Amino acid sequence: MKKARIKGHDDSLALLLFMLFLVSVLFILDAADNSEEVITSDQILKKLVVNDASEGSIAFVIRDRVDPQRLADFASKDYDQMKEELGVDYDFVVYFEDQSGNVVPFAGKYCVGSPKSSVGGISCG
């Protein structure tokens, strides 16, 4: 009888974080202007999740794996610079959760994005 082999902890964690990232991108819309078009998370994810790493890309998920250095570079940017590079006018937040729903810190932060928002009571700005 063959024994099941458990994948390495790093591979599992990277895949888990990737899946949670896809689910966890939040948009905070300006309540004062309801006529604006809602931008879907797919539009932002196409810029943050890619198959091949390229210079100048802001993507930090490459082939289903989070690149820690690219994530740290993204997280260190000014919020307005993030919005400009993503090509969005709307507020957003990026954070990761573990399987239990706990917010997982990355790059020394719990979330990055709109300074008007918070995740788990922690300001993202």
Do the Cβ atoms of 28 and 90 come closer than 8 Å? yes
pLDDT of 93-118, one tens digit each?
Answer: 888 888 888 888 988 889 998 898 88
92 vs 31, more confident: 92
Calpha distance 31→21 (Å, rounded): 25
Q: Which of 91, 85, 90 is nearest to 112 (CA)?
A: 91
What angle is formed at CA 75 by the lines to CA 66 and CA 119, rounded to 5 degrees?
95
pLDDT of 17-58, one tens digit each?
Answer: 655 555 544 433 344 344 344 455 777 778 888 888 776 688
Calpha distance 61→47 (Å, rounded): 9
